[in-house]
Amino acid sequence: MIATIQYNSRKLKIDLTQPLDISIPLRGNPTNVNAWYLEPPKIEPEVIDGEIITVANGAVVNFNTITFNPHSHGTHTETVGHITEKVYSINEHLKQFFFLAEVVTVAPEKVGDDYVISKKQLQFTLGNKKREAIVIRTIPNTRSKLTKQYSHTNPTYLMEDAAIFLKNKGIKHLLIDLPSVDKENDDGLLLAHNAFWNTSGKLRLDATITEFIFVPNDVEDGKYMLNLQIAPFENDATPSKPILYKIMD
């Protein structure tokens, strides 16, 4: 099925039968990707009056309860409410779901004991392109990202000037294949989060950050239409399923 999307003064065509899923699925076991020092998520059948509610145990339905944290356990999309005293709901503030996006691949730079993504790198990859969203894939890019345990590993992060650059460039939706845009332990400064959402000025309430994506290697760098799908949680963050569509020339 070919769909035509009006973007500014242009009409862009995408093939809805060819989605490129860049989310990480949530599993209820220790193989699930993880960060921030939490136990794995749980997906377990409810027990009522001593009966395990699964079809395999004689019930008429499967009836699982899921216990997880969206920030720790997989692909999630968050608002500025993640770092402000007032909790801004992702369900309330993300009201559009299709955006023109650029997929970029970045080799993190070594700075001291850290690996970082710099402003210079993003300037080079984006150039003069006008996009609403950026999808950052870091290298090396292996399938180990689907199950990696990130706690206490000091993962790659975004430098503050890189986040300021994206904000100034008009990027509204930042997607990255890391557990956070900030350093694992930065004494609570959260420099990239604060810079991207402009917490020292007018809050960017319509801007989002999506972390823990996985962009397969066969997805080429370039321009795509992004469908940022979320679950309707009244919370600062929600599990999400970002989908890319190639734009047909």
Structure token digits, residue 220: 């080429």
DSSP assignment of 186-220: STT--HHHHHHHTTTSS--TT-EEEES----TTS-
Q: Please, what's the b/e burial string for 135-144 (b: 16 or more CB within 10 A of its CB; e: otherwise)?
A: bbbbeeeeee
Greatest C-alpha distance within the chain: 63
Residue type at 213? Answer: I
Sign of CA dihedral 226, 210, 179, 92: negative
Give pLDDT < 50 ranges for the chain. Answer: none
The string of pLDDT tens digits covering residues 67-94 is 999 999 999 999 999 999 999 999 999 9
User: Tokens 């972390």 correspond to what residue?
Assistant: 211
The string of pLDDT tens digits covering residues 109-144 is 999 999 999 999 999 999 999 999 999 999 999 999
* pLDDT reported for residue 10: 85
Gap between the Cα atoms of 41 and 62, Å rounded: 18
H or E segment to which residue 90 belongs: helix 90-93
* pLDDT reported for residue 199: 98
Q: Please, what's the b/e burial string for 37-64 (b: 16 or more CB within 10 A of its CB; e: otherwise)?
A: eeebbeeebeeeeeeebeeeeeeeeeee
Q: What are the Cα distances from residue 117, in Å, to 89, 181, 223?
A: 28, 9, 20
User: Tokens 């009409």 correspond to what residue?
Assistant: 11
| CATH code assigned at 148 | 3.50.30.50
Range of the domain at 209: 2-248
Tell me how many domains the chain contains.
1
* pLDDT reported for residue 7: 82
According to DSSP, residue 149 is labeled B
Single pTM value for the model:
0.97
How many CB atoms within 10 Å of residue 26? 18
Q: What are the Cα distances from residue 172, in Å, to 65, 94, 97, 167, 221?
A: 34, 11, 12, 7, 19
Question: How many CA atoms, within 13 angstroms, populate the side-chain half-sphere of residue 124?
Answer: 8
108 closest CA partner among 134, 136, 139: 139
104 closest CA partner among 27, 52, 28, 162: 162
Q: What are the Cα distances from residue 33, in Å, to 29, 56, 75?
A: 10, 28, 9
